[in-house]
Amino acid sequence: DSGVTQTPKHLITATGQRVTLRCSPRSGDLSVYWYQQSLDQGLQFLIQYYNGEERAKGNILERFSAQQFPDLHSELNLSSLELGDSALYFCASSTGLNTEAFFGQGTRLTVV
C-alpha cells in the first residue's frame, strides 16, 4: 500500500457525461500528479499540482481539469466524455519536488 488513495476504483458512465476522480495523497505530501494509462497511448502525464498551485501540465485535454484543495487532496474532472477517454487514471504524490513519487492503485474509467 503506497498510502495514496484514489476513489472510486471503478466508474462506468455514458458518453457526454462528466465525472470527478478523487485523490488523497500520502500524509504530508505536497505534490500530486495525474496520469492516464490507456492501451493506445500507454502511461501519459496529465498534470501536477504543488501545494495548491499548478506546477506542470502535460498531455491534458481541454475537457479535463484538475485542482488541489487546501487539505492537499486533488480532483480530476473529466467532461464531455468520449469512448476514447476510457482508461486507468493514476494519481501519484511526493513530499516535495525532488523526492520519489508514490502511485495510487488507479481509477478505471469506462465510457459506454
Partner 1 sequence: AQSVTQPDIHITVSEGASLELRCNYSYGATPYLFWYVQSPGQGLQLLLKYFSGDTLVQGIKGFEAEFKRSQSSFNLRKPSVHWSDAAEYFCAVGARWGGSQGNLIFGKGTKLSVKP
Compute CA distances 54 → 80, 97, 108, 109, whole Å.
23, 13, 24, 24
From the CB of 46, what's the least distance to partner 1, in Å? 11
Rule CB under 8 A: say whether 12 interacts with partner 1: no
Kindly identify the residues of this chain, within the stretch 60-89, that bind partner 1 according to CB under 8 A: none
Q: Which residues are within 8 A (CB) of 49 and not within 5 positions of it... i.e. 6 or more apart?
A: 31, 32, 55, 66, 67, 68, 74
- Provide the residue type at 60 as one letter: I
Rule CB under 8 A: say whether 104 interacts with partner 1: yes
Rule CB under 8 A: say whether 42 interacts with partner 1: yes
Q: Which is closer to partner 1, CB of 42 or CB of 70? A: 42
Q: Which is closer to partner 1, CB of 24 or CB of 48? A: 48
